[in-house]
C-alpha cells in the first residue's frame, strides 16, 4: 500500500505570517505543500499568483503540489515548472485537450494531476488514467476554503480506485475540501492516498499537533 500523505493547504495560512506558517509545515509531519491558484474566472475567487508562489518555494522544504483553478492552464505550464512546482494539477473541466495538457506537464519535468469537480463523474478519466499521476477529487465546489465536505465523495473514491486497479495505473487519489479528523479515516479506507487540509489545520489551536493527529489517523 502507498504511504498516506497529508498536504496542508496554504490558502488557509496567515499571509502576513507566511514564512512562519511555511516553517511550521516544514517542521511538521506534513508531506506536501498544497498550493491553490485561482483566477476569478474558473472559480469565483482569486487567491494568489506567481510572486507569492516564488517566495513560498524559497522556504518550503517539501513537495510543492500546485492546484490550478484557472481557465486555459496550458498557457502557464512552463511558468509553474520554472517556479519549482513538483506536481501540477489542472481541472478536467478547464481542458479541451486533456491528454495534450498532461503530456505538456510531464515534458516540463512535473508530475501531472487532474482535478474533478463534485459534479464530474470519475468514469470520464478512464481513457487517460494511465497518464495521470494524481487525481484530485474535489470534495467541495472549488473556490473557497472552509466549506463542508460533500458525502458522495466516498463513493467517488471507491469508483476511482476500481478504475485505477482495473487499468493497472499507479495514480494517487487526493481529496481536497472539508477534510477533518472526522472523515480522514473513512476516506483512506475508501482508497484515498493524499488528504488536503486547509482550515482544519490552520484554524486549529495547534496546527503542528493537528497535522500529527491527521497523520496518525491515516497511518
Ligand atoms: C478549494 C481549494 C482547497 C481548499 C481546502 O477550492 O482547492 O484546497 O484550500 O480548504 P479546506 O480544507 O478549508 O476545505
Ligand atoms: Zn486545492
Q: Ligand 1 atom closest to Cα of 199?
A: 13
Q: Is the dihedral of CA 41, 176, 181, 206 positive or negative?
A: negative
CB 164 within 8 A of CB 173: yes
Lay out the sheet containing 134-138: strands in order across.
5-8, 194-197, 172-176, 134-138, 111-116, 87-91, 63-69, 32-38
User: Which candidate, 87, 94, 79, 6, places its Cα nearest to that of 49?
Assistant: 79
pLDDT in tens, 11-52: 999 999 999 999 999 999 999 999 999 999 999 999 999 999
128 pocket-lining for ligand 1 (C-beta < 6 Å): no
Q: Which helix (H) or strand (E) holds 95?
A: none
Q: Which entry of 36, 65, 133, 193 is annotated as an active-site residue?
A: 36
For cell 482495473, what's the residue?
Answer: 166
Is 5-218 a domain of CATH 3.20.20.70? yes
Domain residue ranges in the chain: 5-218
Q: Which entry of 39, 65, 133, 176 is annotated as an active-site residue?
A: 176
The whole-angstrom separation of Cα 71 and Cα 213 is 36
pLDDT in tens, 60-100: 999 999 999 999 999 999 999 999 999 999 999 999 999 99
Amino acid at each position: 500500500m502507498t504511504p498516506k500523505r497529508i498536504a496542508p493547504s496554504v490558502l488557509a495560512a496567515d499571509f502576513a505570517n507566511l514564512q512562519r506558517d511555511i516553517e511550521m509545515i516544514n517542521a511538521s509531519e506534513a508531506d506536501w505543500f498544497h498550493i491553490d491558484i485561482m483566477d476569478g474566472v474558473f472559480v469565483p475567487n482569486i487567491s494568489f499568483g506567481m510572486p507569492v508562489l516564488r517566495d513560498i518555494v524559497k522556504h518550503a522544504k517539501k513537495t510543492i503540489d500546485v492546484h490550478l483553478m484557472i481557465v486555459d492552464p496550458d498557457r502557464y505550464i512552463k511558468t509553474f515548472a520554472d517556479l519549482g512546482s513538483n506536481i501540477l494539477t489542472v481541472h478536467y473541466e478547464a481542458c479541451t485537450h486533456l491528454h495534450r495538457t498532461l503530456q505538456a506537464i510531464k515534458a516540463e519535468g512535473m508530475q501531472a494531476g487532474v482535478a474533478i469537480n463534485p459534479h464530474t463523474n470519475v468514469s470520464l478519466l478512464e481513457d487517460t488514467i494511465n497518464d495521470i499521476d494524481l487525481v484530485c477529487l474535489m470534495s467541495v465546489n472549488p473556490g473557497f476554503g472552509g466549506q463542508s465536505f460533500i458525502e458522495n465523495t466516498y463513493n467517488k473514491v471507491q469508483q476511482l480506485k476500481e478504475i485505477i486497479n482495473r487499468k493497472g495505473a499507479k495514480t494517487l487519489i487526493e481529496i481536497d475540501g472539508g477534510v477533518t479528523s472526522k472523515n480522514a479515516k473513512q476516506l483512506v479506507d475508501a482508497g484515498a492516498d493524499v488528504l488536503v487540509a486547509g482550515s482544519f489545520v490552520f484554524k486549529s489551536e495547534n496546527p503542528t499537533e493537528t497535522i500529527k493527529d491527521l497523520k496518525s489517523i491515516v497511518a
